[in-house]
Structure 1
Amino acid sequence: MLARPKRQRQADIDQRILRLHTAMADKLLRNPKMLAPVYEVLEQRYQQGMMRYGSYLLWHGILESYNQPEQFRALLLASDTRTASLRRQTILIGILSEEERQAALSA
């Protein structure tokens, strides 16, 4: 069995992460009360030094666009390498149940 190149493995992982973030964006937009805990995670990670200022600003900008659903989705799901990297260390934790996570990954 041949091993897939690292670049292909990374692309596959990014695709799975994108599917999860698509499901999380949809759920967040349906449930505005879920946004406050996301802001708390963002602030905690930044205050604890787990996130650089640039990532903090990018996440904050994405969250600030929440009231404009199309823009929120576009920013969160952007295909550029910086946003893909940002999603790899997501602050959107606890949004999906295990069943929702599995459904997103199998879609």
Structure 2
Amino acid sequence: MKKTGIKDENIDRQIIAIHKAIAIKLLARTELLEQVKQRLKDNRELGKINYSQFINWYSIIEMIDDPETFINAMTEDTPYMRKIRRKTPFIGILTEEERRIAIEQDAIGVTASIETLL
């Protein structure tokens, strides 16, 4: 089993915070889901993600009608999810400012919310 260092743990924690912010924004602006679905399809066709990753992300997107489940799936802290979040299909959902706020709030222990992100 691969050992992870503090740096990797910090990066993974930040990526989870970013994905929580992404989930919250997608819940507020579901019209953004179409671009995510298209990016997923494009990444699959280009070989950037494998079929398992495609199905995993697509299944998570389909959970959007259950906000708590959707957020939990987007932020699940497992080795597999840590791995696939590194090649996220959610590029372009958050602005740079929203991304910065999500990371800063996580660093000080504040839970992200729609109000603080938007």
TM-score (ref. length: structure 2): 0.83
Is residue 58 of structure 2 the alignment partner of residue 60 of structure 1? yes
Give the distance between the partners of 1:69 and 1:86, measured in 2 at CA: 21
Deviation at residue 85 of structure 1 after TM alignment: 1.0
Q: Which amino acid aligns with 1:14?
A: D
What's 1:104 paired with?
102
TM-score (ref. length: structure 1): 0.91
CA distances 1:25-55 after superposition (whole Å, capped 9, x unpaired) = 1100000101110000000000111111111
Give the distance between the partners of 1:6 and 1:83, measured in 2 at CA: 15
What's 1:36 paired with?
34
Note closer, same or farther for the CA distance 1:6–1:68 as it changes in structure 2 (3 Å cut): closer
Q: Which amino acid aligns with 2:40?
A: L
Note closer, same or farther for the CA distance 1:63–1:106 as it changes in structure 2 (3 Å cut): same
Q: Which amino acid aligns with 1:70?
A: E
What's 2:116 paired with?
none
Q: Secondary structure at the match of 2:27?
A: helix
After TM superposition, the runs of 4+ consecutive aligned structure 1 residues lying more than 6 A away are none
Alignment length, in residue pairs?
Answer: 103
CA distances 1:35-82 after superposition (whole Å, capped 9, x unpaired) = 110000000000111111111111111111111111111111111111
**Percent of pairs identical after alignment?**
31
Deviation at residue 6 of structure 1 after TM alignment: 5.2
Give the distance between the partners of 2:14 and 2:61, measured in 1 at CA: 21
